[in-house]
Amino acid sequence: MAEETDQKTWKKRTKRYFRRSLALLIFLSFLLFVRIFLFQVYSIQGNSMYPTLSNGSIVFVWKGGFALSAKLFGTEWLYTEPKIAKLDLVLFYDQAGDLVVKRVIGLPNEYYSIEAGRVVIDSQMLIENYIPLGSQTLEPTNSLLFPLKNSPFLAMNKQGRIPPGYYLLLGDNREYSTDSRAFGLVPIEKIKGKVIFYF
């Protein structure tokens, strides 16, 4: 009788352990899914986005629809068309392979130019209240990281039309930002997410 009771107790404990382990596995799988496909928390390094973001700022990035990391598949994989609007803050891999945040200034098929220290998009001067007072947007140099063989980035000129699938990304702290003016127009597959909240 005692042996039968011990067996029932052991079976109950085993079932309870199995249920808890399964619940934990499902929860961890959910967290991994969210981390890979949907959401990321990122700490800003440097002041290229000042005054919007400064060194140590924390940003919450929405990754839904954006290209998955090359570390997972050996190459970037864009599994849907992400929604990117002008002036969005986006997280992307630059020419050096570093994750950085910049602002979307030009969208695919728009015509850009830099005139007298200001950005002009489709013949309209961009109103940029987010850049430091008195800042000027210098012309592209493309001298820092070009030329790199087989680079997916496109060299940016003083003016031109942004090709489909590419974005013009600039830092808010214009005079101290390494951005599209240096490494070129950014292909969509390098953009990993959109900033939805920061502090």
CA atoms 155, 158, 159, 165: torsion sign? positive
Contact between 198 and 60 under an 8 Å Cβ cutoff? The reply is yes
Among 11, 12, 21, 48, the active-site one is 48
Q: How far is CA 135 from CA 12, 94, 120, 173, in A?
A: 70, 23, 15, 8
DSSP for residue 74: S
**Gap between the Cα atoms of 120 and 105, Å rounded:** 10
Task: Kindly provide the residue ranges of all beta strands, DSSP E only, lying in 94-156, ordered along the sequence.
Answer: 99-106, 111-115, 118-121, 124-125
Active site residue 54: no
Among 102, 190, 192, 194, the active-site one is 102
Active site residue 102: yes
**Gap between the Cα atoms of 66 and 194, Å rounded:** 9
Residues catalogued as catalytic: 48, 102
